[in-house]
């Protein structure tokens, strides 16, 4: 096999609309898939992408290349789930058709976002973007708006936030607290942009996907994921409760507390709950890997130690910030004469040293377990 012509349908329109299971391999099968998709939705641009792939395939064949045409679809829920589906199918295809070169055929930037996945496995010699030519009246503003409204991906990103903003405004007015409208809306918009900008939607999507997979595969991680979710909620409750109940304490301690002071207090009271939540997931990974006799077990063994070290560093930093202006609040070192102004630095330094030691112990522990298991395997083979 000289080269693969790869058509990408990242949101799996061929599966959802035409009922065609991906991957589709071969010219005839791709032509049939394009016909079914075109019949189901004549306006879908993925139909033209497939026909564009067929054209590239025929051109390469006429030049004497040994070429194959494949169509790979992702998942309706874009993001990590779609990328993982494409990567898995591509790996299976390369086992059957080993090659190092490929040409990507797509209908736009969304499909071309999988280029890093392809380039990690193949040398991409070209990208053919299929642009659909339309009549002038279809390019009018009305048509564009109509298509945007009907696109569920655009509607979820634009209309849902606008709808919630209007609901927030209506609720504050009806409740007689219209003076809170602007602040509440600003809080929601800021939180939404942080949610999208920091990729929390992908993180939550990955968590839900792993939870479903653990449930269907009867893995212990299903229970540990639920435990982690409960502990995460408790972390937010503990942090918020600390900020609400310790306002007077911060006022007496700092004078005029600001946002950073309340943030440090929130972290100080919630960080260990977050650490426990992540440890619950890590323990589930370790147990499942051990039961499945997976090589990933050795990578997971050090994770709890790293989480503990990270918790120490974050907690120590928050303690340092809260107490750097009031070292008398710190526990003095027994048998040591340290000036009050140096106590916060010493405490932070000790926390860092302990965190490094814990991390080192975790790495050594994982390596020792690996050596023991490998030696047992060798003994069994020798026997």
Rounded to the nearest integer, the mean pLDDT of the chain is 77
State yes or no: pLDDT of 83 exceeds 60: yes
Half-sphere exposure of residue 14: CA atoms within 13 angstroms, side-chain side: 26
**pLDDT of 176:** 77
CB 277 within 8 A of CB 232: yes
**pLDDT of 138:** 44
**pLDDT of 328:** 47
CB 278 within 8 A of CB 228: yes
The pLDDT tens digits for 259-269 are 677 788 888 88
- Of 122, 119, 67, which Cα lies nearest the Cα of 94? 122
Half-sphere exposure of residue 260: CA atoms within 13 angstroms, side-chain side: 8
159-164 average pLDDT score: 77
Distance CA 185, CA 190 (A): 8
Whole-angstrom Cα Rg for the chain: 28
Secondary structure element (H or E) that encloses residue 73, with its range: strand 67-73
The pLDDT tens digits for 29-68 are 999 888 888 888 887 778 888 888 889 888 888 888 888 8
- Quote the percentage of the chain above a pLDDT of 90: 7
Work out whether strand 67-73 and strand 24-25 pair parallel, antiparallel, or are unpaired: antiparallel
Burial of 308-329, coded b for 16+ CB within 10 Å and e otherwise, reads bbbbbbbbbbbbbbbbbeebee
Secondary structure element (H or E) that encloses residue 268, with its range: helix 259-291
Q: Which range has the worst mean pLDDT, 180-189, 312-321, 329-338?
A: 329-338
Sheet holding 3-9: strands in order across?
A: 24-25, 67-73, 3-9, 101-106, 123-129
224-252 average pLDDT score: 79
Distance CA 9, CA 27 (A): 16
**pLDDT of 357:** 92
The pLDDT tens digits for 319-361 are 888 777 555 444 444 444 555 566 667 778 888 899 999 989 9
Distance CA 265, CA 247 (A): 10
Phi and psi at 354, nearest 5°, equal -60, -40
Distance CA 301, CA 285 (A): 9
Work out whether strand 101-106 and strand 3-9 pair parallel, antiparallel, or are unpaired: parallel
Q: How confident is the model at residue 14 (pLDDT cuts 50, 70, 90)?
A: confident
Q: Specify the length of the chain in residues.
A: 383
């Amino acid at each position: 096999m000289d080269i693969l012509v790869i058509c990408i349908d990242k949101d799996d329109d061929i599966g959802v609309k035409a009922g065609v299971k991906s991957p589709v391999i071969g010219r005839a099968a791709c032509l049939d898939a394009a016909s079914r998709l075109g019949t189901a939705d004549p306006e879908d641009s993925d139909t033209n992408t497939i026909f564009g792939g067929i054209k590239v395939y025929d051109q390469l064949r006429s030049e004497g290349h040994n070429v194959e045409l494949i169509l790979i679809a992702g998942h309706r829920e874009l993001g990590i789930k779609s990328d993982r589906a494409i990567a898995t199918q591509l790996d299976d295809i390369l086992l059957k058709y080993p090659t190092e070169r490929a040409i990507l055929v797509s209908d736009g930037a969304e499909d071309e976002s999988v280029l890093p996945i392809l380039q990690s496995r193949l040398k991409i010699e070209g990208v053919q973007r299929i642009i659909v030519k339309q009549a002038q009246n279809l390019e009018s503003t009305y048509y564009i708006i109509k298509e945007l409204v009907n696109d569920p991906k655009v509607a979820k990103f634009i209309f849902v936030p606008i709808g919630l903003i209007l609901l927030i405004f209506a609720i504050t007015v009806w409740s007689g607290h219209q003076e809170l409208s602007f602040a509440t809306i600003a809080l929601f918009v800021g939180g939404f942009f942080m949610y999208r900008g920091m990729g929390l939607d992908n993180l939550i999507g990955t968590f839900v996907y792993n939870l479903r997979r653990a449930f269907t595969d009867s893995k212990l991680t299903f229970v540990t994921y639920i435990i982690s979710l409960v502990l995460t909620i408790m972390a937010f409750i503990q942090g918020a409760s600390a900020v609400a109940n310790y306002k007077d304490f911060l006022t007496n301690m700092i004078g005029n507390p600001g946002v950073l002071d309340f943030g440090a207090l929130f972290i100080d009271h919630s960080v260990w709950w977050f650490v426990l939540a992540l440890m619950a997931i890590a323990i589930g990974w370790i147990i499942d890997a051990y039961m499945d006799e997976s090589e990933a077990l050795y990578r997971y063994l050090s994770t709890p130690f790293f989480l503990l070290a990270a918790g120490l560093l974050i907690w120590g930093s928050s303690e340092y910030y809260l107490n750097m202006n009031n070292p008398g609040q710190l526990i003095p070192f027994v048998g040591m004469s340290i000036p009050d102004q140096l106590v916060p630095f010493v405490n932070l330094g000790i926390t860092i040293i302990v965190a490094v030691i814990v991390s080192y112990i975790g790495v050594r522990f994982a390596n020792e377990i690996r050596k023991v298991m490998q030696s047992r395997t060798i003994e069994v083979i020798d026997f």
